[in-house]
Amino acid sequence: DIESQPFLESIRQMKLELGTASTLFMHLTLVPFIAVAGEIKTKPTQRSVKEMLSHGLQPDILICRSERELPEEAKKKIALFTNVEKESVISMPDAETIYKIPLILNEQRVDNLVVKKLDLKCKKPDLKDWNRVTQADLNPKGEVTISMVGKYVDLVDAYKSLNEALVHGGIQQELRVNINYVDSELLESSDVQETLGKTDAILVPGGFGERGIEGMIIAAEYARKEKIPYLGICLGMQVAVIENARNILGLENAH
């Protein structure tokens, strides 16, 4: 990829300037599992490493993404054709939760490989808290539903940081957070009970422009009347103020 070439060259020069003892190149590659054939294909990884070598970069550690655990034979084959030690060929299969990945890497002693390569003096990692996070995510003690009323819900990644923040809050409380995305442009007073009636809290995120504002105001009014916890962020707080101005202070044209 031509866009990555300046970065690859920068990495090559950095390793030359700092020395091999002060740098470590960890390369993430794809090892596809072909379901029809029932086998793992190592060729994409081999070719990827050869491409790196053409840029003057020899990986120290390979992280091999695959649907399944890499068998020992596949690791040996990858090590042979990439000039990477077998113990540095790391299997990274699909995980139940992204938060389990550090534990999977620790089980394969990736931290030890890094410390050894860079000649660092480190204590043994204490993963007790991280184990608790993983268990809380996989085995919640309850669940809550949060309705997110916004204008960009067709593309939920627009609220990626909020989505993750809600998940993290749920992990802290050992709860599974179900997010109910509500398009504020489509929300009407006539269907607000049906749409938001089973929610435990309402979140109205930020946004720009007048589009969808009335639906957000309806959500804020419903939260106030039904005493449902409400969090307004940026525009979400503004519409809560507008709703109060209209319906509590009687300022019908408030906006």
Average pLDDT over residues 72-95: 96
Q: What is the pLDDT of residue 209?
A: 82
Q: What residue type is assigned to position 10 of the chain? A: S
pLDDT value of position 3 = 83
Domain boundary among 40, 72, 94: 94
The pLDDT value recorded for residue 47 is: 96
Q: Is residue 102 part of a domain?
A: no
pLDDT of residue 160: 94
Residue 241: the pLDDT is 95
Do 152 and 82 share a structural domain? Answer: no
Average pLDDT of the chain? 94
In the chain, what percentage of residues exceed pLDDT 90?
Answer: 85
What pLDDT is stored for residue 145 in this prediction?
Answer: 97
Same domain, 171 and 238: yes
Question: DSSP secondary-structure letter at 1?
Answer: -
Given 94, 112, 127, which residue is the final one in a domain? 94
Q: Which domain holds residue 144?
A: 140-247
pLDDT at 1 over 80: no
pLDDT at site 117: 94
Evaluate whether residue 25 is within a structural domain: yes
Helix (H, G, I), strand (E, B) or coil at 117: helix
Residue 132 forms part of a structural domain:
no
Q: What integer pLDDT is reported at residue 156 of this predicted model?
A: 83
Tell me the mean pLDDT in the region 118-127.
Answer: 92
Q: What is the 3-state secondary structure (H, E, C) of the chain?
A: CHHHHHHHHHHHHHHHHHCHHHCCCEEEEECCEECCCCEECCHHHHHHHHHHHHCCCCCCEEEEEECCCCCHHHHHHHHHHHCCCHHHEEEEECCCCHHHHHHHHHHCCHHHHHHHHHCCCCCCCCCHHHHHHHHHHHCCCEEEEEEEEECCCCCHHHHHHHHHHHHHHHHHCCEEEEEEEEECCCCCHHHHHHHHCCCCEEEECCCCCCCCHHHHHHHHHHHHHHCCCEEECCHHHHHHHHHHHHHCCCCCCCC
* Tokens (6 digits) for 129: 């808290």
Question: What pLDDT score does 254 carry?
Answer: 82
* Residues 243, 145 within the same domain: yes
Question: Helices 72-82 and 43-54 meet at what angle, rounded to 10?
Answer: 20
**What is the rounded average pLDDT of the residues 147-175?**
94
CA–CA gap between residue 14 and residue 20 (Å, rounded) = 10
Query: Number of folded domains in the chain?
Result: 2
Identify whether 218 is part of a domain: yes
- Check residue 36 and give its pLDDT: 86
89 shares a domain with 145: no
Token pair recorded at residue 100: 């389990």
Domain identity same for 147 and 67: no
Cβ neighbourhood burial of 128 (10 Å; 0-12, 13-18, 19+):
exposed
Quick check: is 20 in a domain?
Answer: yes
One domain, residues 241 and 146: yes
Task: Tell me: do 166 and 230 sit in the same domain.
Answer: yes
Whole-number Å distance between alpha carbons of 164 and 170: 10
The answer on 148 and 220 residing in a single domain is yes
Look at residues 121, 129, 79, 83 and name the one whose alpha carbon lies nearest to residue 103. 129
Mark whether 63 and 161 lie in a shared domain.
no
Residues 217-253: tens digit of each pLDDT: 999 999 999 999 999 999 999 999 999 999 898 888 8
- What's the pTM value of the predicted model, to 2 decimals? 0.81
Last residue of a domain, one of 66, 94, 122: 94
Return the CATH number at 209: 3.40.50.880
Query: What pLDDT band is residue 37 in, cutting at 50, 70 and 90?
Result: confident
Query: Looking at the domain assignment, is residue 56 inside a domain?
Result: yes
* Confidence band for 71, pLDDT divided at 50, 70 and 90: very high
> How far apart are alpha carbons 227 and 224 in whole angstroms?
5
- Whether residue 115 lies inside any domain: the answer is no
CATH of the domain at 47: 3.40.50.300
Per the domain annotation, does 134 fall within a domain? Answer: no
